Amino acid sequence: MEITGKIKTSIETQVLLILEKILLKPSSNFKLTDRIIQDLKVASDDVSFILIPELENVFNLNIPYEEWEKVLTIQDTINLLTTYVGNGE
């Protein structure tokens, strides 16, 4: 597995663990195509005030809110984080 693949796998694991913590459900119930608000039923306030800050803290990132507004699914979240981690932002 190339370095980028390892980073993406690590990011995926962290995202799923954080969602488990927020939703109190095992990540085995999640699909990467699940929409965070519509399918997983995460309240938009929880996304803004819990999920995003937790992810940014774990990865030591500060991603502009405009970028987060484009995120709908778990996979979108992983892709966004991978982009910023890969850029060393």
pLDDT band at 88 (very low <50, low <70, confident <90, very high): low
Name the least confident of 7-11, 26-30, 48-52. 7-11
Q: How far apart are CA 3 and CA 19, in angstroms?
A: 24
Q: Identify whether 20 is part of a domain.
A: yes
Q: pTM score, two decimals?
A: 0.89
Indicate whether 34 belongs to any domain.
Answer: yes
Domain that holds residue 44: 11-84
Structure tokens at 19: 């969602």
Residue 56, domain member (yes or no): yes
Number of domains the chain is built from: 1
Q: Are 11 and 59 in contact (CB under 8 A)?
A: yes
Please tell me whether residue 26 adopts helix, strand or coil conformation.
coil
Query: Token digits for 54?
Result: 């937790």
